[in-house]
Structure 1
């Protein structure tokens, strides 16, 4: 697998575990050289996944739709 698409909330959620696990997921992706394609947000769970990837020298591709 070269890439994975993840689209999740741009909010943190009620329990801090969501942010923690989202960031851990990003770390695991980077460690396995799997690129992230995500919703492009820098906040919430979506941002945490991207942060986990980028802080571990992975690659993240943000997709933000336009009208």
Structure 2
């Protein structure tokens, strides 16, 4: 009686571990892929942020934008 029950629990335990590790790897992968997207900034985006912060004027922005587009 107990032998059959233990075999059944072992099958579900293996499936549960498979699901657990899938979730763990998915979370790790998604965490690192988001960091990669944040680090890849284009020069134009940096210019836009500097203009928004007030670090550069509109004229400086236009000049730098022309320089970058060449």
TM-score by length of 1: 0.28
Q: Relative CO higher for 1 or 2, CA cutoff 8 Å, sep ≥ 6?
A: 1
Higher helix share: 2
